[in-house]
Structures are given as C-alpha cells and as structure tokens.
Amino acid sequence: MEVWGPGAIDNFFQVQVPEPKAEGLTSPYGGMLVETLTAEDAWATFGKEPELEGAQPRLIAWGSDAAADIICWDASGDDPSAWPVLIYHRSKGVWRRHDCGMVEFLVRVLRAEFPANPLSDLSLWGRHPALFLSESEEERLLEQGLDPWAG
C-alpha cells in the first residue's frame, strides 16, 4: 500500500485502502470500513461452508469485485501474516475460507491455481498477467481524457 496504494485489477477487482476503525467514514467512497460493515452483515445473514459453521471471525474487508463478492481477512489471530482469506461468494450466497494471505490469494486466482475459481465471476480467473491501476493513476488518466482500461 505504501508504494501503489489502493486500486483495481483489470477494472474488476478493487483493493481497498486500509482504514482504522472509526465512528465516521474516512475514505471518500466508503472503502474498507463500508465493505467491512457489509461483510459483517453478510456473515450474520448468509450461509457458510460447513467448516465455518459456528465460527466468529473478526472480519476486515480488503477487497471486493464487480460481481459483489466481498474478500476479507479473518483477523482473529495475533499474526497478520497468518490471517486466512474469507470470501462471501455472492452468486452462491455462501462464505468460504482460503488458508492463504492476500497476495497468495490474488496470485492463485490470476494463475487459476485453486481447484475451482473462488470468485463469482471468471473475469480474473487465469488472467495472468493482469493490469493493476492505483486509484491515483486511474484518476490521472481520466483527467487527461483517457480511458484507463483501454489497451
């Protein structure tokens, strides 16, 4: 985040800007706080894979996609490098766990290395290489009248 900041992968997957939990929203579009609140509501409302039944994770949403999936860490543990990824798979209405971190998760999606696509849409599945644009770069291109996602 220090180098690139928040942004999008192939205009499909949004990597959220980290925000401290606060009373009011700090990012202009809601970002991590809004997605985390949405994830907490989805956790309370929707089904879970059997291994997640009864679990009470501390959710932190770090990503979302155009298919309305919510991608979170389970921040229950003390070691952030060991936090697994929890995904609310919107099209199936179910939560799933992936025992890997954020970077490994994204790499495995882009290389199609999971047994099946963990997201609701195939837009990123096996799409290696993929284009990441930071929010600032996307805004700069738009200000120049350029479509940031056009080849």
pLDDT band at 63 (very low <50, low <70, confident <90, very high): very high
Q: CB atoms < 10 A from the CB of 101, how many?
A: 16
Place of tokens 């949004």: 14
Place of tokens 């849409």: 121
Give the residue-averaged pLDDT of 107-127: 97
Condensed to tens digits (0 to 9), the pLDDT of residues 23-36 reads 655 555 557 888 99
* Main-chain phi, psi angles of 130, to 5 degrees: -125, 160
pLDDT band at 151 (very low <50, low <70, confident <90, very high): low
Give the residue-averaged pLDDT of 118-146: 94
Token pair in block for residue 89: 């798979």
Assessment of whether the complete model's pTM goes beyond 0.85: yes
Residues 6+ away with beta carbon under 8 Å from 2: none
Alpha-carbon gap, residue 145 to 46, rounded angstroms: 42
Residue type, 78: D
Token pair in block for residue 71: 């991608």
Give the residue-averaged pLDDT of 116-125: 96
By DSSP bridging, strand 47-48 and strand 94-98 are: parallel
